[in-house]
A and B are shown apart, each in its own frame.
Chain A
Amino acid sequence: AQSVSQHNHHVILSEAASLELGCNYSYGGTVNLFWYVQYPGQHLQLLLKYFSGDPLVKGIKGFEAEFIKSKFSFNLRKPSVQWSDTAEYFCAVKIGTASKLTFGTGTRLQVTL
């Protein structure tokens, strides 16, 4: 069955540090890729998405992600994190023509001052 892996379960960074969160999926066909963020006490919201074209996708709040098809990866990056980036981050994949999103288990990011 198709799956999405997020290998970092809990990441702790100091403010201004660079961030990279891993996301890998297991499917060889067409995929649409998403990163969602859930700030404490808030609902899930879209950070960025990839459907086609430029594999480097820019999102809100300075986040970006790169789709590397050969590696089945869609890693999330930010050059300099802020305390307000403390949240849980979910990678999600839409596989082929399926209607649902398959989510990873999430990565909890804690940014310290």
Chain B
Amino acid sequence: GAGVSQSPSNKVTEKGKDVELRCDPISGHTALYWYRQSLGQGLEFLIYFQGNSAPDKSGLPSDRFSAERTGGSVSTLTIQRTQQEDSAVYLCASSPYRGWANTEAFFGQGTRLTVV
């Protein structure tokens, strides 16, 4: 597609339920990133994919969070047993080269998750 696409754009869920957030990167981009944006907290790195593997998952806040990427394209971020502190905007970005060297990352519009 023309840009990074994320779905849903908004998600309201009850505490304790599981949620899945989807990211469609720009076609041909091998690197894919998930970030979390909370009010006043900036952007918090969650996980990085190169192809289908995740060399850096150091930012996942707990074992309730997991992510996968299939076919070197679509990625899904899953949050199990959601908590209120998981409420945030989840951003996905992709870039065409390994790592970030000499290129920019293209961000999606994000998924706003609200846990009630």
Do A and B pair up? The answer is: yes
Which A residues lie at the B interface, using CB under 8 A?
6, 9, 32, 34, 36, 42-46, 49, 51, 90, 92, 94, 97-106
- Give every chain A residue within 8 A of B50 (Cβ-Cβ): 99
Of the residues B4, B48, B99, B102, contact of A97 by C-beta under 8 Å: B99
Cα–Cα distance between A101 and B95 once the two chains are bound (Å): 12
CA of A61 to CA of B91, assembled, Å: 24
Residue numbers in A under 8 Å from B101 (CB-CB): 32, 51, 94
Which 7 pairs, one residue from A and one from B, show the smallest C-beta to C-beta distance? A105-B42, A103-B43, A44-B107, A99-B99, A46-B104, A100-B45, A43-B109
The answer on a CB contact under 8 Å between A94 and B100 is yes
Determine if B48 and A43 form an interchain contact, defined as CB atoms under 8 angstroms apart.
no
Decide yes or no whether B25 CB sits under 8 A from chain A: no
B55 at interface by CB-CB < 8 Å:
yes
List chain B residues, Cβ under 8 A from A44. 91, 93, 107
Cα(A17)–Cα(B29), bound, Å: 39
Q: Which residues of A contact B105 (CB under 8 A)?
A: 46, 101
- Tally of contacts, chain A with chain B, CB under 8 A: 63
Assuming the A-B contacts A102-B45, A103-B42, are A43 and B102 also in contact, with contact meaning beta carbons closer than 8 angstroms in the complex?
A: no
Chain A residues with CB under 8 Å of B33's CB are 100-101
Residues of A within 8 A of B108 (CB): 43
With A44-B91, A90-B42 as given contacts, are A101 and B110 in contact (CB-CB < 8 Å)?
no
Q: Are B48 and A100 in contact (CB under 8 A)?
A: yes
Known: A49-B104, A99-B100, A106-B43. 15 other contacts (CB 8 A): A32-B101, A34-B104, A43-B4, A43-B107, A44-B91, A46-B105, A51-B101, A51-B102, A90-B43, A99-B50, A100-B33, A100-B48, A100-B100, A102-B45, A103-B35
> Which single residue of chain A is at the shortest CB-CB distance from B102?
A51
Please name all residues of chain B whose beta carbon is closer than 8 Å to the beta carbon of A32 when the two chains form the complex: 100-101
Quick one: closest A residue to B6, CB to CB? A43
The smallest C-beta distance from A87 to any residue of chain B, in angstroms, reads: 14
Chain A residues whose C-beta falls within 8 Å of the C-beta of B35 in the assembled complex: 103
